[in-house]
Chain A
Amino acid sequence: MLKKTLKRALIGFLLGIILGDGIAIMTGLFSEGNFRPVAVTLEQMCGNMAAAFLIQTILSGVYGAVCFGSVSFYEIESLPLALASICHCLLIVILYIPTSLFLGWCETIWDHLIMAGIQIAAYFMIWLILYCSYRKEVRKLNELQQKIQKQSQSSEKEEKYHEKENH
């Protein structure tokens, strides 16, 4: 499982960079004045835009690596679905807040909390969809089980009938 987790983390790192830079470039194109793919606060902290962009790229990659790598929570057999969802969600939200604060992705603390709330709501939806899907599967199991029970009951009745006839 460690190999799988590391593989996922690597893919997540690359996706994080692509998405992070993609969003940064898109927002930079639409920002007031000159092209600005990083927040002003970050640029001031780093001294120049290039360094700020590099740090943002790396941290986006790390965030992506953690998001994808921690999908392995769902593969831990002893961890029920709800707990796996909670662990994954908490890890992502807890990591998002300091990352977002440092990179200046949102302006106020309320914006950060709203984003965290949106992430939690998204996780709840994911859990709900998975839960409904599994319940549907289990309903099919019960239908098959009833079919088998009816078959064995009718076969037992036939056997008893034939035994009586033979006697």
Chain B
Amino acid sequence: MKKINILFETDETSDQINIIVRASEMDQQVSQIIDRLNDRGVRKFTVLDNQKCPCVIDESDIFFISADGKQMRIISLTGVYFAKQTLQTFEKLLGRNFLRISRFEIINLKKVRKYDFTMIGTLRIEFENGMETWASRRYIPQIRERLSGEEGYLC
């Protein structure tokens, strides 16, 4: 853990509060600090398991969410769950490490093991749990921007 220095500077010309986090690299500690500043801790979701019993899962355990008929199927570290919310709702609630890769799927970029471009021209995404999904080649620039932090931090 790196040492944190907190400084306050008065700037009479500024009409808003600017918070700048300065570090040598964007690591877990920096991401957590930014999350706390955004009042965004590890988010938890109430979902249904296979027996339709409610349970709580961590956002960080989610691999991907896919539309399964009228409900959402959530593949998590602890199992498969279901939810009634739409993908659009999840998009607003989930952190920036989640990216929508099609009309039917949102993936957790932090849970991806590797990417592969197939001969027929689709992007194959393999997760840490061995599961895989496919995305259109059009999402390659978006994924690169998120991973490199060009759009902002990857929390």
Residues of A within 8 A of B112 (CB): 145
Residues of A within 8 A of B1 (CB): 158-159, 162
Decide: A81 near B137, CB < 8 A? Known: A140-B144, A141-B115, A141-B144.
Answer: yes
Contact of B56 with A by CB under 8 A: no
A155 engages B28 (CB within 8 Å): yes
Q: Considering only CB atoms, which chain A residue lies closest to B143 in the complex?
A: A141
Q: Considering only CB atoms, which chain B residue lies closest to A83 in the complex?
A: B120
CA distance A130 to B114 in the complex (A): 21
Chain B interface residue number, banded? 20 to 34
1/0 per position for B112-145, CB-CB distance to A under 8 A? 1111111111110000000000001110110110
CA distance A148 to B110 in the complex (A): 8
Residues of B within 8 A of A151 (CB): 25-28
1/0 per position for A70-96, CB-CB distance to B under 8 A? 000000011011111100000000000
Decide: A80 near B147, CB < 8 A? Known: A131-B117, A138-B117, A141-B115.
Answer: no
B28 engages A82 (CB within 8 Å): no
Contact of B62 with A by CB under 8 A: no
CA distance A109 to B143 in the complex (A): 49
Contact of A125 with B by CB under 8 A: no
Contact of B106 with A by CB under 8 A: no
A138 engages B121 (CB within 8 Å): no
Contact of A107 with B by CB under 8 A: no
Contact of A111 with B by CB under 8 A: no
CA distance A152 to B31 in the complex (A): 10
A148 engages B154 (CB within 8 Å): yes
Contact of A48 with B by CB under 8 A: no
A137 engages B27 (CB within 8 Å): no
B117 engages A80 (CB within 8 Å): no
CA distance A155 to B155 in the complex (A): 13
Decide: A82 near B121, CB < 8 A? Known: A144-B147, A148-B154.
Answer: yes
Q: Which of A124-150 contact B (CB under 8 A)?
A: 130-131, 134-135, 137-138, 140-142, 144-145, 148
Residues of B within 8 A of A131 (CB): 117, 119, 121
Decide: A145 near B115, CB < 8 A? Known: A152-B28, A158-B1.
Answer: yes
CA distance A137 to B123 in the complex (A): 11
Min CB gap B12→A, angstroms: 38
CA distance A148 to B149 in the complex (A): 11
Min CB gap B96→A, angstroms: 12
Min CB gap A32→B, angstroms: 47
- Name B residues whose Cβ lies closer than 8 Å to a Cβ of A: 1, 25-29, 102, 109-110, 112-123, 136-138, 140-141, 143-144, 147-148, 154
Known contacts A134-B140, A141-B115, A158-B1; can you find 10 more A-B pairs with CB under 8 A? A81-B120, A83-B120, A85-B121, A131-B121, A137-B144, A138-B140, A144-B144, A145-B113, A145-B147, A162-B1
Question: Can you list 5 pairs linking A and B with CB atoms under 8 Å apart?
Answer: A77-B102, A137-B140, A148-B109, A159-B28, A162-B1
